[in-house]
Amino acid sequence: MTEQEQTEQEKTDQYFMQLALEQGQLAYAAGEVPVGAVVVQNGEIIGRGYNQPITSLDPTAHAEVVAVRDAAKNIGNYRLTGATLYVTVEPCTMCAGCLVHSRLERLVYGATEPKAGVVESAMCLLDSPFFNHKIETCSGVLAGQASSLMSDFFKMRRAGKKKLKQLSRPVKGEGE
Ligand SMILES: [Zn+2]
């Protein structure tokens, strides 16, 4: 890849990551851990998804799985050959497996996930020799925005819980 091609690729990656972040904001608004994803094939978005296991009563409804399902449906093919998945946070084991099964060509993510991320953090699952499909990966794209979206969410949730605790604490002198 020439230097110019590399800058073009970086610009393209940032552009689509911005759209994945918008999906993450939809998760945030729904009270779900804010992770968003988009699937791109031939320069076009073919699938979108945001994390929604609680609201859709579906433990598999992570952003990546929702986006991959949307993409496969839209193109009428269970294999997303040549496609790139952009996701705001490093994928977990389930999602990494889903990406291999969908035959994605490339995975681009923003922030690393130290506890559950399996591309580079907790393990390097995609490098496992037993997988019959290799996915090219790129990390750190708009990572700052992705991680602040996450930390804002957890801060808000902690503050909400604290407030709830205070409200449910019996007021002294009442009901005694
Ligand atoms: Zn996942």
Global pTM? 0.91
- Residue 172, pLDDT score: 60
Concerning whether 64 is annotated as a catalytic residue, the answer is yes
> Which residue's structure tokens are 């988009």?
38
Looking only at the bridges linking them, the beta strands covering 106-111 and 84-89 are parallel
- The answer to whether residues 14 and 23 touch, using CB atoms and an 8 Å cutoff, is no
Mean pLDDT of 118-135: 96
- HEC assignment per residue over 6-53: HHHHHHHHHHHHHHHHHHHHHHHHCCCCCCEEEEEECCEEEEEEECCC
The whole-angstrom separation of Cα 155 and Cα 22 is 19
Q: How confident is the model at residue 176 (pLDDT cuts 50, 70, 90)?
A: very low
Q: How confident is the model at residue 154 (pLDDT cuts 50, 70, 90)?
A: very high
- Residue 162, pLDDT score: 85
Span from the CA of 6 to the centroid of ligand 1 (angstroms): 28
Q: Tally Cβ neighbours within 10 Å of residue 133.
A: 13
Catalytic residue among 8, 44, 64, 120: 64
Each residue of 6-16: pLDDT tens digit?
Answer: 999 999 999 99
User: What percentage of the chain reaches a pLDDT higher than 90?
Assistant: 89
Mean pLDDT of 110-132: 96
pLDDT at residue 170 greater than cutoff 90: no
User: What percentage of the chain reaches a pLDDT higher than 70?
Assistant: 96
Looking only at the bridges linking them, the beta strands covering 44-50 and 36-41 are antiparallel
32: nearest Cα among 12, 45, 51? 51
Span from the CA of 165 to the centroid of ligand 1 (angstroms): 30
Span from the CA of 174 to the centroid of ligand 1 (angstroms): 47
* Separation in Å, CA 58 to CA 62, 66, 74, 91, 114: 9, 10, 21, 17, 24
